[in-house]
Structure 1
Amino acid sequence: MAEVSGGPALSRRREVSHTSARSLLMTLLGEFVLPRESPVWTATLVDTLAMFEVEEKSARQALARAAAEGWLGSERVGRRVRWSLTEPGRKLLSEGARRIYGFGSAERQWPGDWLVLLVSVPETKRELRHRLRTQLSWAGFGSPEAGVWVSPDTSRADEAGDILRELELADDAMSFTASYGPIGSQHAMVARAWDLSDLEARYERFIAEFDNREPADDEDALRAQTKLVHEWRRFPFLDPQLPAELLPANWSGTQAAELFHRKHVDWRPAAQRCWSARTSD
């Protein structure tokens, strides 16, 4: 999920990493704990993570790290421990929920304007070049040529400015808002700026995994819902969210978004019912 000012941060690098105890824990917290005010027992979280082949030791370590980083607070009740979201943790997960559940839910109109950044970093500063590429890519920018970054979302200017200032590159950078000219192909530029074929392959794997998935019972619904959200939450950080007119025909991301939102609504009652049963004393 995303950084919250004044609170703990979950990096986007972790967000797109492979399945881990920590990332699965964050999915469970966002999907099942965030909507409720009540704390949750250690055993409930450990047992639920075990459904995804997370060993008890790894589950407990994930809880300890989440607490150390300020997302969770613990309370001992007799010989047992229960966990509650801290205020920074609740803000963190709420922002993540807005990003995850809102992603792909509506198509925005594009006026045809591009935000163009010119940023030059010497070859000798490889670490700085890597940080710039990573952070601008996370912000949805693509690079069709060395030193040139483009986005069809001109509202990204403030975010780009923050990145450049953080990397101490703002003074020498330049930015423009412009429409594409008569020379060359806009679609060819997009193909050079973003690896849409890899992204489309990821969407197609998502569709293949969940399209025909139908939970057998409430426990299976909890398992399916958790995996659905866990896999989907990577896409807001991988997909530059290009306007429809810049995407290939029959873009699989559209089908994947429709599938996610439909399955999430369909599976939610049974999954939440199973979680409630697990957390009842």
Structure 2
Amino acid sequence: MATLDTASEVRPQSLMLSFLGIHVLNQGIAVFSGSVIDVFARVAVSEEAVRSTLGRMVKRELLTRYRSGRRVYFGLTPRSTAVLKDGEHRVWRRGAVNADWDGTWTMIGFSLPESWRSRRHDLRSRLVWGGFGPLQNGLWVAPGHVDVPALVGDLDLDDHLRVFTARTAEPTEADQVVHAAFDVPAIAARYHAFLDRWDHEAPLPEAVDDLARQLLLHTEWLQLVRQDPRLPTGHLPADWPAIRAEHAFHRLAGVYDRSAGRIAASVLDTLRV
């Protein structure tokens, strides 16, 4: 069962992004740092860690400061808004279950000079983020259509990439691609761990309130779906745990939504921006 130790397993910035996505995105507000500290105390994140996280996010242009009297408020930037909207899309519209795959793959072939280790690392990180897995050396695949220019365009590697939309043909089967390019047991294990923590009538009974539960739930779920390449369920075990995990997430998110919103409204000091 989930415990408050769950909070120690994620970075404060991940918790902060969940908080901002739930309670600040699309609201036209900035939030007072002191009230953010009050919220994060509910999930055992220290004042020092909150202030450090806010400061780093300002430096990375993920937050901007506003002053009202002696108080400092933090609001979203275009960069953080884009990150949060991506998370919102993955959770509420794209989802974790790919039940309507049309049989196509996006394929990327690349060859970078050995000396470009940093750029190779950046490219591979982006590919994983975009749902790709390594089929063989220098050839990565993802199910469905992926907007590759949007994913890696700013890395300035166009001359070193070859991008295709493809289908498997004999003797290659889609099942072979799925299990060669992706660690299916590891993906399933992450969903099973989520279910072990959250698929209960009343998880996290020792939490202070539903605002704490909401923050932990959303943070863990978003991290989970961002690691998931959304493999086609027709080529996965019939009891694929993402299906039950997504049902559990939606059920609990609905349970916490209203009560957590009331608590947040009573705790947060906001500024219209």
TM norm structure 2: 0.82
User: How many pairs are equivalent?
Assistant: 261
Q: Deviation at 1:189?
A: 2.4
Is residue 114 of structure 1 aligned with residue 105 of structure 2? yes
- Say whether the 8 Å CA contact 1:72–1:89 is kept in structure 2: no
Deviation at 1:172? 4.8
Q: Supply the AA of the counterpart residue of 1:251.
A: W
Give the structure 2 partner of residue 225 of structure 1. Answer: 214
Q: What's 2:67 paired with? A: 75
Instruction: Give 1:19's aligned residue.
Output: 10
TM-score, L = length of structure 1:
0.80
Bigger relative contact order (CA 8 A; separation at least 6): 2
Which ranges in structure 2 are unaligned for 5 or more consecutive residues? Answer: 1-7
State, as a whole percentage, how many aligned pairs show the same letter. 30
Counterparts of residues 86-101 of structure 1 (less than 5 Å): 86=77, 88-101=79-92
Once residues 77 and 148 of structure 2 are traced to their aligned partners in structure 1, the CA distance between those partners, rounded to angstroms, is 32
**Greater alpha carbon shift after TM alignment, 26-35 vs 254-263:** 26-35
- Counterpart of 1:214 in structure 2 is 202
In structure 1, what is the Cα distance between the partners aligned to 2:150 and 2:248? 30
Q: Counterpart of 2:212 in 1: which secondary structure?
A: helix
**1:137 paired residue among 104, 112, 128:** 128
**What residue in structure 2 maps to residue 246 of structure 1?**
235
Residue 90 of structure 1 and its aligned partner are, at CA, apart by 3.9
Match of 1:42 among 18, 33, 39: 33
CA distance, structure 2, for counterparts of residue 277 and residue 259 of structure 1: 27
Q: Which residue of 1 aligns with 2:247?
A: 258
Read off the aligned partner of 1:136 and give its amino acid letter. L
1:10-55 CA-to-partner distances (Å, cap 9, x unmatched) read: xxxxxxx952222222221211122534443222111111122211
Q: Cα distance 1:268–1:76, how it changes in 2: closer, same or farther (>3 A)?
A: same
Partner Cα separation in structure 1 for residue 230 and residue 106 of structure 2: 14
Structure 1 residue 113 displacement after superposition:
2.0
Note if 1:201 corresponds to 2:189. Answer: yes
Distance, in Å, in 2 between the alignment partners of 1:19 and 1:66 is: 16
Q: Which moved more, 1:219-228 or 1:19-28?
A: 19-28
Contact kept in structure 2, 1:128 and 1:167, CA below 8 Å? no
Asked if structure 2 preserves the Cα contact closer than 8 Å seen for 1:113 and 1:154, the reply is yes
For structure 1, list consecutive stretches of 5 or more residues without a partner in the other structure: 1-16
Partner of 1:237: 226
Judging changes above 3 Å, is the alpha-carbon distance between structure 1 residues 195 and 85 closer, same or farther for their aligned structure 2 residues?
same
